[in-house]
Amino acid sequence: MTDQTECDRLDRRRRAFIEAARELFVRLGYERTTLGDIVDRAGGSLATVYKLFGNKEGILEVVVFEKASSGATLVREAAEKGGTPHEILHRLAVSFQAHFLDPEVVALVRIVIARSVSDKDFARRFFERTATRTLDSLQQLFADWQDRGIELNAPPHILAELFLGLFVSDVHADAISHRVGMDNSLERLRARTQFFVMGSGVLENKNANISFEGPNGL
Amino acid sequence: MTDQTECDRLDRRRRAFIEAARELFVRLGYERTTLGDIVDRAGGSLATVYKLFGNKEGILEVVVFEKASSGATLVREAAEKGGTPHEILHRLAVSFQAHFLDPEVVALVRIVIARSVSDKDFARRFFERTATRTLDSLQQLFADWQDRGIELNAPPHILAELFLGLFVSDVHADAISHRVGMDNSLERLRARTQFFVMGSGVLENKNANISFEGPNGL
DNA sequence: ACAACAGCGTAATATCTATTACATCTTCGC
DNA sequence: GCGAAGATGTAATAGATATTACGCTGTTGT
C-alpha cells in the first residue's frame, strides 16, 4: 500500500467522523452525544476514532476550531469595496449578522460556553481565535479612518468593542432563548448601523469616501 | 410536632441545600456537581434532597430562579432619582454593570446556556424572567421620555435592545473568556454611556430634566 | 495468490452517579 | 420519658458511556 492511498483512506474516514460529530454536537450538545452515536453515523469503528483523535475531547477540539473563524476576513472584504464609512459599516453589519446568527455557529458557542466551566483554556483559545482577532481588525479599520482624517467620538478599540457588541448581544440572546421572537429584519439591522454611525461620530464625516484601502491612503 | 417547627426544620435544611448547590453549581457547573457533593457540603441526606426537590433538576430550577432577577428594579431606581436623561442613563449603566458582571450571575448564565441544549423550555423561562422583563422596562422608560417631548433617533424598543446589548455583550465575553483582559473601568463605562447618548439622539435634548417619575409627568 | 497490515466490529472493563430502599436515629408534642 | 413522624446514613440498584482489548476481514503490494 502506498502512502498516498493510505493517507486518502484515513483522510476520508477522518472527514466522515468530523462531519458526523459536528452534526451531532450541534444537535445534541457535546455531553449528550456519545462516541457510539458518532460511529453509528459516520461508519467506521470506535478503534479508529481513538486512533485519529485520541479521545472524545480530541474530536471536539477539531470540530470547534475548524468552524471557529474570526470576522477579520469579513472586515477586510467590507472595507475593500470602499464607499462612505456608513456604507462600509452597513455592509459589514450585513455579513456579521449572517455569520453570527448562523445556527451552527450559535450551537458551537453554546458548547464552548458549557465546556468553559471545566476547561477554561479551551474556551480562551476559542475566544482568541474569534472575538479577539475580530476586535483587532475592527480596531485597525477605525484607526485607518482616523488616520485619513475622519474624526471619531471614541478611541478605535472602544468603537471596535461597541460595534462587535451589537452582534454579540444577539448571539447571546439566541444562545439562551433559541430564537424566540428573534427579529433579523433588514430594518432592524439598518437601525443598528444608523445607531452606531451616530454614536461613533462617523456621521459628521458624511462626505468622507474611502475609495480603496491601499498602503498609501487617499 | 407543630406545623411551625416542622416547617422551620425543613426550611433550614432546604436553605442549606440551596446554598450548597448554588456554591457548587457556580464552581463546578451543573453536570459535574453530584448530589453527593451537595449533601456532603450541606449536611442532611440524599433522601431529604429527593423529598424536597424531587430530583437533581429540581434543585437547579430553584437555584437558578432564585438568583435570576430582571433589571426592572434597577431601571426604576435609576429613573426615580431624576436628573437629565444622560445622568439617568449613566446611573443605570453603573448598576447594570455591577449586576451583569457579578461572577455568580455569569456562572449561572453559563449553566443555563449549557442546559438550554437539552431543555429549551428552561432556558426560555430564564430569558423571560431576565432579559425580556428588563427590555420591557427599558422600553417603557424611553417611551416615557418620548411622551415628555424628548426626541429619539429610534423607536423605544430598538433603543432598549441596544442599551441592554451594551452589557449583554460583556456578559457573553466574560462567559467565554473567563475574564481575560476584562476592563471594568469607569472610563470604559462612561464611553459606553456617551456612545449610547449620541447614538440614541438623547444628546440633542441636553437640558431636558426628568425631575421625578410620577403618574402625571412634568 | 498470498502474506502483512490497517481498519472493523464486538465485547469487556471500569467508573461514575442518579435514584431507590431500608434500617436507624432525632426530634418534639404530650 | 415515650412514641410516632420524619430525617439520616448507608447500601443497593441500574443505566450509561468513555476507554481498552482483541480477534476478524478486506485491501494492497509483491
Q: Mean pLDDT in each 10-residue stretch from start to end of chain A (218 residues)?
A: 53 91 96 95 92 95 94 96 94 96 96 96 96 98 95 96 98 94 92 96 70 45
Which of A176, A200, A201 shows the shortest C-beta gap to B112? A176
**Strand C nucleotides where any atom sits below 7 Å of a protein CB:** 6-11, 16-23, 27-29
Q: A34-69 burial by CB neighbour count: b if 16+ within 10 A, else e?
A: ebebbbebbebeeebbeebbeebeebbbbbbeebbe
User: Does residue B218 surpass a pLDDT of 50?
Assistant: no
- Please report the pLDDT score of residue A198 as a whole number: 95
Count of Cβ atoms closer than 10 Å to residue B157 Cβ: 17
pTM summary value: 0.90
- Please report the pLDDT score of residue A82 as a whole number: 87
Calculate mean pLDDT across residues B92-104.
Answer: 96
**Nearest to residue A114, comparing CAs of B117, B68, B127?**
B117
CA A72 remoteness from chain centre: 9
- Sequence letter at residue A135: L
- For the stretch B37-76, pLDDT in tens is 999 999 889 999 999 999 999 999 999 999 999 999 999 9
Q: Which three cell numbers stand for residue B139?
A: 422600553
- For the stretch B132-172, pLDDT in tens is 999 999 999 999 999 999 999 999 999 999 999 999 999 99
Cα angle at A126 between A125 and A128, to 5 degrees? 65
Q: Is the CB of B82 under 7 A from strand C?
A: no
| Domains of chain A with bracketed CATH | 3-66 (1.10.10.60), 68-205 (1.10.357.10)
- Sequence letter at residue B42: A
How many residue pairs from chains A and B have C-beta atoms closer than 8 A?
Answer: 147
SS3 assignment for A71-86: CHHHHHHHHHCCECHH
- Please report the pLDDT score of residue A4 as a whole number: 46
- Please report the pLDDT score of residue A197 as a whole number: 96
CA B94 remoteness from chain centre: 13
Q: What is the CA radius of gyration of chain A?
A: 21
In 3-state terms, what secondary structure has residue B29? coil
- Please report the pLDDT score of residue A181 as a whole number: 80
Calculate mean pLDDT across residues B210-218.
Answer: 47
Distance CA A152, CA A158 (A): 11
Q: Is the CB of A7 under 7 A from strand C?
A: no
Residues contacting B190, CB < 8 A, separation 6+: B90
- Please report the pLDDT score of residue A217 as a whole number: 41
Q: What is the CA radius of gyration of chain B?
A: 21
User: Does residue B5 surpass a pLDDT of 80?
Assistant: no
CA B156 remoteness from chain centre: 20
Q: Which three cell numbers stand for residue A214?
A: 491601499
In 3-state terms, what secondary structure has residue A27? helix
- For the stretch B116-136, pLDDT in tens is 999 999 999 999 999 999 999
Cβ-based contacts (< 7 Å) between A 62-101 and strand C: none
Distance CA A161, CA A164 (A): 5
Q: Which three cell numbers stand for residue A101?
A: 446568527
CB distance B127–A171 less than 8 Å?
Answer: no
